[in-house]
Structure 1
């Protein structure tokens, strides 16, 4: 149960970061791959926000199911 709570909180934190700050995620994970890119594309931002929302929801589900198992 403890690991499920920790995993849920971790996924929720990462999901919030990906959703709220996709530019920061791009800076640390993708910017070094391109010498001409100054900022992430709109497509990257959209996909990162969608992924962040999914991470957050999966983390929330894990947190809820750790307290109320089926």
Structure 2
């Protein structure tokens, strides 16, 4: 699944870009292209267990996200 927090923007921080850049809405910052590739399922990422930004935004830890932590 594609990350629900990843967007592509042609401008940001008062600057226009030549092309769209990856922006993580959970982290509220632009991310490196390689990070965006990972977020876009090219490596079968499970956001709920593999992405620390996603887990932090949802208020879960690694063990909680995997269903192994206490509620």
TM-score of the aligned structures, taking structure 1 as reference length: 0.31
Structure with a larger share of its residues in strand: 2
- The structure with more radius of gyration: 1
Structure with a larger share of its residues in helix: 1
